[in-house]
Chains A and B, each alone.
Chain A
Amino acid sequence: LAKTTQPISMDSYEGQEVNITCSHNNIATNDYITWYQQFPSQGPRFIIQGYKTKVTNEVASLFIPADRKSSTLSLPRVSLSDTAVYYCLVGDIRRSNTGKLIFGQGTTLQVKP
């Protein structure tokens, strides 16, 4: 499974748009890009997944350029409750068949009032 690199931490203010970029230079053809969110003392929660171009759901958008060597999670108009750790994962969950998700250190997002 491909290794990912993301910033250790980011700060933002309420109401701003936040973009977290993840690098995955050795992504494989069959790999998907998945983002999870984790609040303190809770388990990670699935946010969004994509393969290429743009994916949007009610929580976030995921932008993936044509070469797929990076991806950007976009959180529109963040609030204090978006303060959490965000993990970027790359892999072909569907083919791995073992349920193995590989988490890095994640990006700690601090939203300030």
Chain B
Amino acid sequence: ETGVTQSPTHLIKTRGQQVTLRCSSQSGHNTVSWYQQALGQGPQFIFQYYREEENGRGNFPPRFSGLQFPNYSSELNVNALELDDSALYLCASSPGLAEETQYFGPGTRLLVL
């Protein structure tokens, strides 16, 4: 157990809808990163938040956005869902920037129909 939780575990949406995924980091972890993992692929970095501000972004369009809250929770929002957005979404927290270890949650499985 990493102490990182995510909700919901599974979600089904239709194309064009919006979705919000939630993550609760370990207490004291002020850094959270989000990853998208398509079936059979490794996780792909979406972005990182540090002290409630975006601190780095991967190759994902602006319809992927996030929020981080002072209580060690965070959100990933995806607007205008596309079929290719179907994936496992993972959040990972760490005690600070540039830590050697990130602690991953179990992920949210999103299916877009």
Query: A-side binding surface: helix, strand, loop or mixed?
Result: loop
Greatest chain B CB density within 10 A among A42, A43, A97 is at: A43
Chain A residues, CB < 8 A from B102: 46, 99, 101
Greatest chain B CB density within 10 A among A42, A44, A46 is at: A44
Tell me if A29 is interfacial: C-beta within 8 Å of chain B. no
Which one of B14-22, B41-49, B62-70, B76-84 is at the A interface?
B41-49
Greatest chain B CB density within 10 A among A34, A49, A97 is at: A97
Give the nearest-CB partner of A49 in chain B: B100
Give the nearest-CB partner of B9 in chain A: A41
A43→B100 CA distance, assembly (Å): 16
Which residues from 23 to 44 on chain B have a C-beta closer than 8 Å to any C-beta of chain A? Answer: 31, 33, 35, 40-44
Which of A32, A41, A49, A101 meets B107, CB within 8 Å?
Answer: A41
Nearest Cβ distance between residue A38 and chain B, in whole angstroms?
A: 8
Chain A residues, CB < 8 A from B43: 44, 101, 103
Number of B interface residues at 8 Å Cβ cutoff, please give it: 32
Give the nearest-CB partner of B34 in chain A: A99
A27→B31 CA distance, assembly (Å): 26
Chain B residues, CB < 8 A from A99: 31, 33, 45, 48, 50, 55-56, 92, 94, 97-98, 102
Q: Is the CB of A97 within 8 A of B55?
A: yes
Q: Is the CB of B33 within 8 A of A105?
A: no
Nearest Cβ distance between residue B22 and chain A, in whole angstroms?
A: 15
Which residues from 63 to 113 on chain A have a C-beta closer than 8 Å to any C-beta of chain B? Answer: 87, 93-106
Extra 11 A-B pairs, beta carbons < 8 Å, given A43-B90, A97-B98, A98-B56: A43-B4, A43-B106, A43-B107, A44-B43, A87-B42, A93-B99, A97-B97, A99-B55, A99-B97, A99-B98, A103-B43
Residues of chain A having any CB pair with chain B under 8 Å: 32, 34, 41-46, 49, 87, 93-106
